[in-house]
Structure 1
Amino acid sequence: MVTRQKASDTPVRVVSVFLVALAVYGTFFFRAVPDRAQALLIAVIPDQILLAWIDGDLGNIGLLDRMFVALFAGLILLLAWGIGRQTLRLTLHGVPLSRLEDIVFSIAMGLSELSLVTLLIGLAGGYHHWAWLFVSLVGIVVAKEGGYRILARRGTSRVCHGEVAEHLTDTATEDSRCDVGDSPDHGWVLWILAAPFLVLILLGGMMPPWEFDVREYHLQVPKEWYQAGGVHFLPHNVYGNMPLGAEMHVVLGMILTATWADWWWGALVGKTVMASFAPLTALGLFAVLRRYVSKLAAGAAAVVYLSTPWVMYVSITGLNEGAVGCYALMAVAAMLIWQDRIRSDKPRSGTGVLFLAGLFAGSAAACKYPALLFVVVPLAVWAVMAWKSPILARWDVRLKSVSVFLLAALVTTGPWYAKNLVFTGNPVYPLVFGGATRTPELMERWNRAHQVPRDHQGRRYSASQAADSIALLAWRSPWISPLVLPLAVLAWLNRRHRRRVIQLSLLIVWVLLVWWLATHRVDRFLVPILPWAVCLVGIGFAWSCDRLWRRVAWTVLIVGVTFHLLYFVASGHYDRRLLVSLETLRWDEPAEPDDPSRVSLVHRYMNRTVPDGKRVLLVGDAQPFDLEVPAVYSTCFDPCNFELWMRDRTAEQRRAELLRQRISHVYFDWGEIARYRSPGNYGFSDWVTRDLVWNELVHQQGLLRLVPLEMDPARGELFEVVAGESEDSAG
């Protein structure tokens, strides 16, 4: 048995080295992004932040409409807890869980199941009928209750509460006597540190979207599917044909609120549910580290995760990395419990936990393709190796273990890949095998945009590129935390948890290698493994019982989390009108023409003027979420509808096609098209030019007529379709 680490074993020089290294790291950190130092000024002028939250006028405050969104988001989370709780009863046969572990596992599992049910209902075309959802949920509840009763008669199905202490490893019990802090009363400090971030995530999650990807597909694709009544192939939006497990909650929000509100409010409900993955992950971190390390170390890790700028950003914008990270953490937590079970005197009781781990890993891959390599593959290897457990010495037992894990992963992720196979002929569309609508030109454009980047000498892998990536992840990325790397390194000094430190580190190193060797090295793609890294933060936070380290640890934590808060609220990279009425933000009419607006001038104009029964054609503009009128658009990686309809056609054919498509207005976003065509960018069809539009469609053929708007023509131009004789007479 490992001897308890005494306070006297901690040399002062280790703390001294840590502080010196932290000071050096802090220098790099603050010099890399000037906004970080400037954010500290917010502490002097907090009134400016409050003014930004209300858009400069107390009359703009509107909180009642947020109650509607919060109510239905809470309903979805409650449904998730109930459904997930049943799954735990079926899988965790006699496995002891704390109340918190039970709640966290249940909600996460339930959210995955609700997402899967919503997908299946969509494939059946049932989004416009409440009965589909009701019957599906009732069927799931009845089926699982029946399964539970069968297991109960065998005396094998039981989830225990309040029995964790006697089942934990001795290291957790030892650490509970060695909490980093003077007393358990320090928990109130952690709550004070966490509270502002919980409020910001809740308010930000309810905000209408402003981020490009979110308005292009994270919320736009659910909007299209809901309005169409079901899930279908989207030839104009390549991203809409990828796994969108997290975004299914947006559709679910639209279904649940349909009686009382339109799709827009349902989208905000789903976006709020997506934001809730951040606090759910923080609770998961607390549960895992309380089980294996200590209560205060668990609390510190939860606060660090919740306050990390990256987590805040992806949560309030509506991106799905938070959901992937949550499922990745739950999968690892289940793997750790399974590992304990197979080493116990009841190894067979671990099969259900392993199945649960597979369900969570598959849930991650149901949200984003990279999770296949980031989560499913390494955990499948873990299922085979399990740190050379004696119970897995035989290869047939190992094969059974990995089969159970992969079968479970297939349950939660398989429907998404099967959908793609049926719709496009490629289960991982548009990767590797191409598929429907994928021309050689479009495949080349996609591959060029998502390839491993080259340096100025044309090399993909070089020492200088590796150094740049290290700098990006360590201090240069604008949304990283200055706490994660320093405290995670200290985890290696905690000898009591060396095995788990090695396991978590191997998982992280695997993901970093895949990210660097096989992707386009976007740092946001690593946010899903942040919970694993923060587990190391918790272990590092609890590496010593020394009184000096206690004071240093608390000081570093409080200062770091305070910086997180100041930096994020001072950032101009998100819509800060957190207290403005949602109805006001929906239309976002600026008080003055030059005032910024979340909704573009062109979109506001089209929302007001496009006749009923007509549609608009967007060229270069792939963010149609805020349009209240039907829109035809395409991403830069999809066939351009304007080119498909107009190229090599006569004037009469072009006019007939616009009439057939019911197009009343055509908008050309020249600014976006120019950005796509800029060196090193994605690319855009060369056929679409201003000269073509003006010379042929306006002057020669008279198909389009410019709509005078107060905007720079180089940025964009809106045209009205000139009615032909047949349409005039019909009118």
Structure 2
Amino acid sequence: MAHRADPLKSVRSSGIVAAVLALAFLEAAWLGWFLVEPLPNAGNVGGTVRRWMFLARALPQVVPGVRFDQSYLGLALQELGHLENLPQRVPIALAAALIAGGALALGRGLLRGLRLHHVLQPIERLPLAYGLGTTGLGLITLILGRLGALAPWSVRGGLGVLIAVELALTFRDSRRPPEGGDAEELAIRSLRSANSQSAGLPALMGLSLVTIGPFLLMMALGAMLPTIDFDAIEYHLQGPKEYFQAGRITFLPHNVYTSMPFSVEMLHLLGMEVLGDWWQGALVGQLLIAAYAPAAAVMIALTAGRLASTRAAVVAAIVYLTTPWIYRLGVLPYVEGPLCYYHAALIWSIARVWPVADPRIRAAFWGVIGGLAGGAMACKYPGLISAVLPLGALALVETIRRRSWRIVVGFVLGWAIVMTPWLAKNLIDTGNPVYPLANRVFGGRYWDQAREAKWTNAHGPKEIQVVALWDSIVDVAGRSDWQSPLYVALAPLALLRRGSRRASLMLWGYAFYLFATWWLLTHRLDRFWLPLLAPLAVLAGLGADWIRNRAWSALLGLLLFVAIVTNMAYSSTALTGFNEWTGDLMVLRRSIPEMLNPPLARLDAELPADAKALLVGQAAVFHFRHPIVYNTVFDHETIETLTRGRTPDEIALTLKEHGITHVYVDWFEIERYRSPGNYGFTSYVTPELFAGLVAAGVLDEPEPMGSRQQLFKVRVRKPRGG
């Protein structure tokens, strides 16, 4: 703890310089490998891409002849230069501020109800309230959405009421004398920790302002750009769009992903309701997701500061926020950004509650921990493994150690309040509370053995091989395109720091658990291991403070400089995320779909206003403006459901009943799904199927929409005897 007698200054200087020199050699070797290792996902730009290229051209004239406008700094400033388009972002930012204000009000109200408000410092309350509040807003949105009670003015009014009530309570509390006793002692202890000084702190604080600011600015502006990610336009945004257009949250049998916990996606739905527009509302949700990154960084810094020093806190926050992965999670509407936040908040909560003596405060804290673990699971099901189970086990340990049943009850109650509505939704819709998972355990409707086999083949655990394990270790350590070198450079040193080795061992144990469960129990998609970044960032902060002398401070400064400049240059490029930060949103609304899928964009532009298209083989449809019928690759193929076993007259009648006027077939996507190692696609859909429908007079002759895309118009058939 930072308020204890500093054990680092008592280390004898003999041998330290030699140790730092040896460490400098190891760090140089590590950075050398990191900078020359090819980026595995960047090869599609042409040629091999290595990180040293970004470092070399980050600033002008580092490489002779590289002008300012050719450097990555100059290119980034060009993308930030269209200031005339910033007013387009004002409605988005204001709507996000309204929702964030409602979330903070709800979270602060919860902390006040648990009587934790006076125990925590403002810097602790703010990020904690945001996480708890967004989780709460997700639950409220789910319940009201199921009732069909969401509407723009009611949502705006409800958020306004939450904010007004919290402001009134805050004003009331400010006029009351501070409470004493144990709460006062905890506040004093925390304040001492926050105010402790360490060697080189002024330089580190200045560095944090210079480095973190640009990352946050790029992140905020990038979040307010239309997304280009397949998963986002297939379900992260498409699900809320369908809920908004329907006026209620319903079961979507054609999009299995929308039956997952959708707590984060509720922020997009709220944005759509506040602005009354599904396209701009999605950008509101993206900006709210980006806000999880600084909230997580504060939690990480608070943890490192509590376990070590302010120097450790500052470095931990810098390491986390300058990681290209965190920038990427901020500009794309993935749920992993919020998931990382919940893991950071859980780590902070354990460090915060562990020394608490008051049994009432301790029980309330464990209720919050249960809610945070539930929030992680409400992001995505793997949160059960990464957050709920290990923290639940720790709650049991604490229950036995403290001989207090309130601890485990508080944890379970907090988790149940968050997750019960999401599980109940699936139970009502499908008969399986965790649909589409655990079908063999819970059974349920809609899911069959064929879909189970297809899902398991795509999302089930991969084969255990030593070579694959080593490749995964290397990927997580630094080969992953968006990883930072600072985790490996600093986190192992945490074990050398006197006074915090026990905490370091626990954090390393948790990190090992997260890696092992990701590798053994999932299909090893890289995004699934990202919760590792939270404990590793804390460890990096502790490692940065393993010793305090000038030699190490100089080496630390060099490590930070090289890594941060490289990460900033790389994050500013389109390899990390769409980076037209100040582009014209109205132009981008048209150009992004054309860039992502020209044939589909052409279809959307040319269809009559009253048309409704059935899409075959294509599910990345968020940007599509016309009414559509579609399905994801893991759902029953709609064209097969509507045509199999039916006569031409019956098929024509079925298409008419569904209002389908056109059928669009994306053979390129179908062939991609059928390629070796991919998800697979039903053999029922063939060119012969559509040729037969044309011959039977159900469809007109196809019109080519692209090299491998066809559009069939549904023929209007006269009734028999007419």
Contact map agreement 1:93 1:156 (CA 8 A) in 2: no
The alpha carbon displacement at 1:140 in A equals 11
Residues 439, 330 of structure 1: CA spacing in aligned structure 2 closer, same or farther, 3 A cutoff?
A: same
Deviations 1:640-677 (A, max 9, x none): 00111122222222222221111122221212111111
TM-score scaled by length of structure 2:
0.89
- CA distance in structure 2 between the partners assigned to 1:27 and 1:641 by the alignment: 52
Alignment map for 1:591-606 (pairs within 5 Å): 597-606=594-603
Partner in structure 2 of residue 633 of structure 1:
630
- CA distance in structure 1 between the partners assigned to 2:608 and 2:307 by the alignment: 62
The match for 2:12 among 8, 11, 14 is 8
Matched positions, count:
695
Partner in structure 2 of residue 419 of structure 1:
425
Alignment map for 1:389-408 (pairs within 5 Å): 392-393=400-401, 397=404, 399-408=405-414
SS of structure 1 residue aligned to 2:461 = coil
Give the partner amino acid of 1:8. R
Alignment map for 1:24-423 (pairs within 5 Å): 24-29=29-34, 30-33=36-39, 34-35=48-49, 36-43=51-58, 44=66, 47=69, 62-93=85-116, 96-128=119-151, 130-131=153-154, 134=157, 138=161, 164-167=187-190, 172=193, 176-179=196-199, 181=200, 183-258=201-276, 262-342=277-357, 346-386=358-398, 392-393=400-401, 397=404, 399-423=405-429
The alpha carbon displacement at 1:159 in A equals 11
The alpha carbon displacement at 1:291 in A equals 3.2
Partner in structure 1 of residue 43 of structure 2:
none
Of 134-143 and 350-359, deviating more is 134-143
Give the partner amino acid of 2:554. R
- CA distance in structure 2 between the partners assigned to 1:135 and 1:193 by the alignment: 38
Partner in structure 2 of residue 451 of structure 1:
460
Contact map agreement 1:238 1:637 (CA 8 A) in 2: yes
SS of structure 2 residue aligned to 1:436 = coil
Partner in structure 2 of residue 18 of structure 1:
23
- CA distance in structure 1 between the partners assigned to 2:583 and 2:191 by the alignment: 48
Of 209-218 and 502-511, deviating more is 502-511
Residues 348, 286 of structure 1: CA spacing in aligned structure 2 closer, same or farther, 3 A cutoff?
A: same
Alignment map for 1:475-514 (pairs within 5 Å): 475-514=478-517
The match for 2:701 among 702, 705, 718 is 705
Give the partner amino acid of 1:364. A
Partner in structure 1 of residue 579 of structure 2:
576
- CA distance in structure 2 between the partners assigned to 1:461 and 1:373 by the alignment: 19
SS of structure 2 residue aligned to 1:248 = helix
The match for 1:664 among 637, 656, 661 is 661
- CA distance in structure 2 between the partners assigned to 1:650 and 1:94 by the alignment: 67
Contact map agreement 2:374 2:388 (CA 8 A) in 1: yes
- CA distance in structure 1 between the partners assigned to 2:205 and 2:407 by the alignment: 39
Contact map agreement 2:98 2:159 (CA 8 A) in 1: no
The alpha carbon displacement at 1:144 in A equals 13
Partner in structure 2 of residue 717 of structure 1:
710
- Give the alignment's Cα RMSD to 1 decimal: 3.3
Give the partner amino acid of 1:21. L
Contact map agreement 1:54 1:61 (CA 8 A) in 2: no
1:649 aligns with 2:646: yes
Contact map agreement 1:96 1:164 (CA 8 A) in 2: yes
TM-score scaled by length of structure 1:
0.88
SS of structure 1 residue aligned to 2:572 = helix
SS of structure 2 residue aligned to 1:96 = coil
- CA distance in structure 1 between the partners assigned to 2:465 and 2:344 by the alignment: 32
Give the partner amino acid of 1:551. A
Residues 37, 705 of structure 1: CA spacing in aligned structure 2 closer, same or farther, 3 A cutoff?
A: farther
Deviations 1:305-341 (A, max 9, x none): 1111111112201111011111221122122211110
- What stretches of structure 1 move > 6 A for 4+ residues in a row? 50-60, 139-146, 155-163
Residues 207, 726 of structure 1: CA spacing in aligned structure 2 closer, same or farther, 3 A cutoff?
A: farther
Partner in structure 2 of residue 592 of structure 1:
none
Residues 513, 157 of structure 1: CA spacing in aligned structure 2 closer, same or farther, 3 A cutoff?
A: farther
**Structure 1 gap segments, 5+ residues each:** 454-459, 590-595
- CA distance in structure 2 between the partners assigned to 1:135 and 1:39 by the alignment: 47
**Structure 2 gap segments, 5+ residues each:** 40-47, 59-65
Contact map agreement 1:706 1:718 (CA 8 A) in 2: yes
SS of structure 2 residue aligned to 1:717 = strand
SS of structure 1 residue aligned to 2:661 = strand
Partner in structure 2 of residue 467 of structure 1:
470
SS of structure 2 residue aligned to 1:718 = strand
Deviations 1:105-163 (A, max 9, x none): 122221111111111111111123633674598589979999x999x99x999997997
- CA distance in structure 1 between the partners assigned to 2:307 and 2:617 by the alignment: 52
